[in-house]
């Protein structure tokens, strides 16, 4: 590789892994006579992947998910799913050509047992955008292979020049934390519709989960957009997938 790798993600038994820098990603499978390949040349990517931002491995589905910022020389927000046992089996989950740089990304798998006993797996993607100064949290349902769909998208204000970080808390409320210089912000991604909390000044607050507005959806292909960049004007709308 031309640069020092930034990402290394092995599978559960460490027999195959993905390694990448910002411009190049490699796949290695030790079970197949050390078979390797460049993720730029998978069937779906056609040699046009660039600006890799993050990689995560899902042990339940035995798949890698790759987040990158450039495809076919166009800036945007792209997520590619790659089978851990066969690099030729790939699928784009998102292809959004928004002509914007993204940064401070995170890519995580969220697994939750619903009240009805069903297990739901979600891909939680977060990043900040240049020029429009937003911090975006995108949640996708990846429970069923081949039937992934967008559930939520949350936009809040984040100055591009200011560093930030996003991560999931492994608690029963499935909280997502956005940590920046302006403070700490919490998004509840779990099934619990609301719960009371007390802030550092002793004032009672109520946290509502994103799922609490699911009843607004008219179709399974709808997702809920939370536009919260202006603290004085927060808008919830229903949109079609990208």
Cα separation, 115 vs 13, whole angstroms:
31
| pLDDT the model gives residue 135 | 96
pLDDT of the residue at 191: 83
Distance between CA atoms of residues 157 and 232, nearest Å: 12
Low-confidence ranges of the chain (pLDDT < 70): 32-35, 40-47, 242
Rounded to whole angstroms, the Cα distance separating 110 from 179 reads 19
84 φ/ψ angles, rounded to the nearest 5 degrees: -70, -20
pLDDT at 41: 55
Q: Which CATH number fits domain 1-99: 1.20.1250.20, 3.60.20.10, 2.120.10.30, 3.40.720.10?
A: 2.120.10.30
Give the Cα separation of 51 and 71 in Å (integer): 9
- Residue 33's pLDDT is 56
Measured between alpha carbons, how far is 31 from 127 in angstroms, rounded to an integer? Answer: 34
Question: Tokens 């411009």, residue?
Answer: 23
User: At 95, is the secondary structure helix, strand, or coil?
Assistant: strand
Give residue 68's pLDDT. Answer: 93
**How far is the C-alpha of 162 from the C-alpha of 104, rounded, in Å?**
10
What are the residue boundaries of the structural domains of the chain, listed by start?
1-99, 102-242
Going from the C-alpha of 35 to that of each of 27, 42, 86, the distances in angstroms are 8, 14, 10
Q: What is the pLDDT of residue 123?
A: 94
pLDDT at residue number 107? 94
Rounded CA-CA distance 200/213 in Å is 28
Give the pLDDT of residue 190: 85
How many angstroms separate the CA atoms of 134 and 91, rounded?
27
């Amino acid at each position: 590789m031309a640069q020092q790798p930034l990402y290394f993600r092995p599978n559960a038994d460490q027999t195959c892994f993905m390694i990448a820098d910002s411009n190049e990603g490699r796949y290695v499978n030790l079970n197949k006579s050390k078979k390797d390949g460049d993720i730029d040349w998978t069937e779906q990517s056609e040699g046009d992947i660039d600006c890799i931002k993050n990689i995560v491995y899902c042990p339940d589905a035995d798949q890698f998910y790759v987040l990158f910022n450039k495809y076919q020389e166009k800036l945007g927000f792209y997520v590619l799913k790659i089978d851990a046992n066969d690099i030729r089996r790939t699928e784009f989950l998102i292809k959004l050509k928004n002509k914007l740089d993204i940064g401070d990304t995170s890519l995580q798998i969220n697994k939750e047992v619903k009240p009805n006993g069903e297990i739901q797996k979600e891909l939680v993607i977060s990043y900040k955008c240049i020029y429009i100064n937003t911090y975006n949290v995108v949640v996708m349902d990846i429970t069923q292979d081949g039937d992934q769909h967008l559930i939520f998208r949350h936009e809040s204000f984040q100055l591009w020049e200011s560093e930030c970080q996003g991560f999931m808390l492994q608690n029963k409320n499935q909280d997502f934390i956005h940590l920046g210089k302006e403070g700490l912000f919490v998004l509840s991604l779990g099934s619990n519709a609301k719960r009371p909390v007390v802030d550092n000044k002793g004032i009672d607050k109520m946290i509502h989960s994103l799922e609490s507005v699911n009843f607004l959806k008219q179709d399974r292909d709808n997702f809920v957009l939370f536009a919260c960049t202006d603290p004085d004007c927060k808008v919830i709308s229903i949109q079609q997938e990208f």
